[in-house]
Structure formats: structure tokens, C-alpha cells
A and B are shown apart, each in its own frame.
Chain A
């Protein structure tokens, strides 16, 4: 899960839900989509609470 931006993650999650809304997803697809959805949510949650600074350059003067 590379470092994707919050907007992209949110958008993808919204799309997944919309596709599900149409009710055409097969059961197998459902499990893949579930995996992806939870992956996206966890990623964002962690990113919000990310301790280590990946913007190290930021703090060099």
C-alpha cells in the first residue's frame, strides 16, 4: 500500500460503495472489494496517526 493521498483513497472507497449500490457485484468480487475497502480505511486511519516523519526534508533548515 504505497503512500496514496487521502483524496484518492476516499474517492476509491466511494466508488467501491457506489458499485456495490448497483448490486451487480458477484460474491467473489464482494470479498475482493471488502478486502480493498478495509485496506483503504486502515491505511487512512494509520496515516492520520502516523508518528514517524516521512517529510524529513521538511525539518532540515
Chain B
């Protein structure tokens, strides 16, 4: 029976692999684990089956420190976002089988475009699922309270965006006061999903204290924000009882979270402006109503004033009319009275004079009968010599008739 020593076997394997895969090749895999020791990165790579849990293939890989540094220079910050557990990556590596350490992939290059592509696909997939479950619009349905004053903020103390957000809010030119409660979470990498979910739950328990949830982080590359393209997270937001505002600070395109949120804005400062605007719109509504009230009240007062004036005038008018008509009547009465009186007087006088005349006559007759005579000058009785002048025609009444005579000068003159 032929038997090999382990070393012989491994050495044989090493030679076969070296022979068949002499140079570096491009490989696609998902990073299951990632460890950094003394600057070297040790990765566990897997390939999963359809149902996500099932692992079809597994291998370990290494990125030497110097390779990492050169990759870092080339790819920049994205590299860190790429090298995250759960991230699918495409890399170029040389395959080596070591008698003692087994098979290892020595990574020399990483292709971020591949991962971006993968992420994009993943995102579409998640969006489709959310669409199917009708979750995309749910949070948007929640009516925004008129003023967003009490805010539950999911961000990290160190996140650049968070400080900008607070500053923007507190420096609003209108003197509005906002109350922000931070629910600190990691804003990068693998922890994002877990922590944000936990905080959303904490907020849900105290939802009565808040008007809205704000999820913000400053700038970041497309890859950095991959964590926000998460189905679980989106589902939690869709089901969040409060409207969610996101400001995850990137300009390329929206993360899945942005699509599910009530409002998604480009940057934390933009979210702050949105919040300030809500208070401002509310206050201008107040002012507008106040002004409308004032103008309506003024109109009401004015018309009341008018009514009073009109009544006043009417009263005045009536009085005047009555007054006039009364004065007219008075005048009428007055003149009638005058007439009547005049008439009355005249009649009386006539009567009187007639009476008088009669009386005179009567007296005169009795005197005449007694032999007296009555001399008249015209109608007037001559009572004194001064009443007459020479030449006057006189009439002397006697009981039985009259005598006409003429005044002659007196002998003595």
C-alpha cells in the first residue's frame, strides 16, 4: 500500500498549483471575516449559494501592509469601505499553496467598480422587494407635524454632519428653538445596520417625545454609504411611526434609505434648513391668519360704524324732517292763528265799531231827543274848537234830522 507523508502531499499540491496558476488571477468573493494584525489584513472569503446562508466555497486571503498602502493611495477612502465584512469584491491575487499554511490568496489589486456594480444590483434588488411590499411610500404617508421642533437624531457624535446640523439649527435667524436628542450610532461599515435598527426601536418607544427622526452623516463616498442600502433598515424606516428625514451627505445618487424616508435631503445642513423652514412656514401661516383676521375685523367695525352713521343720519334726517314739518305746521298754525285772530279781531272790531256806533247812536239819539245836538266833521265828532277850521263843512245831528253848516271866523278874531 503506497502512502505519502503529509509534507509530500502538500509539497505536491504546492507544485501543481504553482504550475497551473503561475500568475495572479482575478477572483470574485464575499468577505466573510476581516482581521488586521500588524498592518497586514487577513480575510476569510466565501461564496454563498442562492439562499444567502449556504456557503459554497471558502478560502483565506492576505493583503500585505505595503500592498494595502499602495491600494489605499490608488483607491483612497473607498478601500476601507470595500474591505468590509459582507462586501462582495473582485480582486487580483496570486494563489499559493504552502505545505504548512495551506492555500492562501495573496491579494494585489481590488476593483472597486465591480463592488459598486454589485452594490447597485443589490440596491435594485432591495428596492424591488420594498416596492413589492409596498413599503416605499409608507413613511411618506405620515403627515408632517406643522412644526418639527423635537427631533430624534440618529448620527454619531464624531460625524462631521452632526455638528453642522446642530449649528445650522441653533443659528437660525428667527430665534426658533429646536430640541435634538442624539441616538449615537456608527455611521460607517458593518455596524450601521445593526445599530440604527436598535436606535429606531429605542425611538419608537418614546415616539411621543418627538416630531420626527433625523438620520444624518457628513460626506462620504458612494461605497461608504453602501451600508444604508439595507433592506432591513429600509423596512424599519418604512414602519417608523414618525416621519424620517435623511441627510446622508452624498451627491451621486440616493441610497435605498433616502427612497424610503419621508424626506431625503442632500446634506445634514439641508435637513436643518428643511426643519427651520417648517417652523417658518408655520409662523407665516399664523401671521397671514392674523392679518386676515385684522382686515376682516376692521371691515366689520367699519361697516358697523357705517351702519351707526347711517342710522345717525337717518335719525337726524327724521328729526329734521319732523322738526321742519312741525315748524311748518307751527308756522301754518301760527299764520292761521294770526289770520284767525286778525279776522277775529277785525270782526270783533267791526262788531265793536258797529256796537260802538250803535251805542253812540243810541246815546246820541237819547241826547238828541233831549235837545242836544251832535256836530260831526265828516265822520268825526267835533269835541273842540280846535277840531275845526274856518271853512270846514260840518254836519249837526238833531233828534229829527241834520243841519249842514260852515265854520265862520269868530267875531272876536
Binding between chains A and B: yes
| Closest partner residue, chain A, to B300 (CB atom) | A30
The number of A-B residue pairs with CB atoms under 8 Å apart is: 78
A6 touching B145 in the complex, CB below 8 Å, given contacts A27-B301, A30-B301, A37-B293: yes
Bound-state CA distance A44–B149 (Å) is 12
Which chain A residues lie closer than 8 Å to B285 at the CB level?
10
CB distance from B310 to the nearest CB of A (A): 15
CB distance from A7 to the nearest CB of B (A): 6
Looking at chain A's contact residues, the main secondary structure is helix
Which parts of A2-27 form the interface with B (CB within 8 Å)?
Answer: 6-7, 10, 13-14, 16-17, 20-21, 23, 25, 27
Contact B146 A30 (CB under 8 A): no
CB distance from A14 to the nearest CB of B (A): 6
| Closest partner residue, chain A, to B146 (CB atom) | A6
What's the tally of chain A residues with a CB closer than 8 Å to chain B?
29
Contact A59 B181 (CB under 8 A): yes
Bound-state CA distance A57–B300 (Å) is 47
CB distance from A54 to the nearest CB of B (A): 9
Determine whether B35 belongs to the interface, using a CB cutoff of 8 Å to chain A: no
Looking at chain B's contact residues, the main secondary structure is helix
One of B104-112, B172-180, B400-408 at the interface = B172-180
Which chain A residues lie closer than 8 Å to B304 at the CB level?
27
Contact A7 B283 (CB under 8 A): no
Contact B179 A45 (CB under 8 A): no
Determine whether B150 belongs to the interface, using a CB cutoff of 8 Å to chain A: yes
CB distance from B145 to the nearest CB of A (A): 7
Contact B293 A10 (CB under 8 A): no
Contact B286 A13 (CB under 8 A): yes
Contact A10 B282 (CB under 8 A): yes
Determine whether B297 belongs to the interface, using a CB cutoff of 8 Å to chain A: yes
Residue-by-residue, is B283-296 near A (CB-CB < 8 Å gives 1, otherwise 0)?
A: 10111011011001
Bound-state CA distance A4–B179 (Å) is 18
Determine whether A1 belongs to the interface, using a CB cutoff of 8 Å to chain B: no
Contact B145 A16 (CB under 8 A): no
Contact A49 B181 (CB under 8 A): no
Contact B289 A17 (CB under 8 A): yes
Chosen A-B contacts, 16 in total, with CB atoms closer than 8 Å, are: A10-B285, A17-B289, A21-B296, A23-B303, A27-B304, A30-B301, A33-B297, A37-B289, A41-B287, A41-B290, A44-B283, A44-B286, A49-B175, A49-B177, A53-B179, A58-B179
Pairs A-B, 10 closest by C-beta atoms: A20-B296, A6-B146, A49-B175, A13-B289, A37-B293, A6-B147, A41-B290, A48-B176, A58-B209, A41-B286
Show the binding face of B for A, using Cβ within 8 Å. 145-147, 149-150, 174-177, 179, 181, 206, 209, 279, 282-283, 285-287, 289-290, 292-293, 296-297, 300-301, 303-304
